Structure 1
């Protein structure tokens, strides 16, 4: 009887372990299926560490965005970080930085719900999420911007046009810094 109990306990443990592994695998597969609306990269000669420092420094936002964004004010250094960026037009956009991974050079942020309601261009948009990564590759550093926009198609297309322009300004800003 003791042998049967041990056997059943062992079998139950294996079964539960298998279910946990299956569930984790299913979650990982779902996590890799995100299709971004924008996936753009640029390479510079700056070190990944230098690029990362520039991205996190509110005082450098105008420089790295080639003047497209004139100011950035972060309320806190612990995530979630609430920050307000101001465009060259004077219009602010509130953002929430949800993930900063210094060891992976990964930055994830969303446009706040209040900005989605207040900025006319974003009316009809439910969510805008940015994922920015910095990676060393050979003797270059690659900066990658991924953006996911959820909302109605008309609003989404207008927002994507503006967001692509924003990324172009960042690419130009980093290239200018690279030439200095």
Structure 2
């Protein structure tokens, strides 16, 4: 009989196939085998204007999901593309851009600039179903979209002082 890796709760046996216990984890999440625990894959991504950080959502965990991206200027918008493991972000004055960097090797040298002309991007969102990036632009008082490679830029709407943006790709 397998034992629980962390916590074991006893339950009455209501069926001949019921084990009479259930395992839980104090840290991490219950693995597929229903006995062992593994690290949670959930984490928080945030910016401090000059850096992009990650933080595990596990209590008392000091492991960071990816290294800090440093030496940036005025990063204000951030989105994590879970499928490709890319950090897509906006940077405002004086070096405005929409860029991305892989979370597996997040260095400034590996940064890919997607768009850096005629924009002042702030909030950013990514639609993984259509592979489109959306952003708010306070200087142009507009909300835009483009393909993830920077092509096919479309102004969606003009609106005074847009800031944050969120998408719901599942509902269209």
Higher strand share: 2
Question: TM-score of the superposition, structure 2-length normalised?
Answer: 0.24
Q: Could you say which structure has the greater relative contact order, defined with CA pairs below 8 angstroms and 6 or more residues apart?
A: 1
Higher helix share: 1
Question: TM-score of the superposition, structure 1-length normalised?
Answer: 0.23
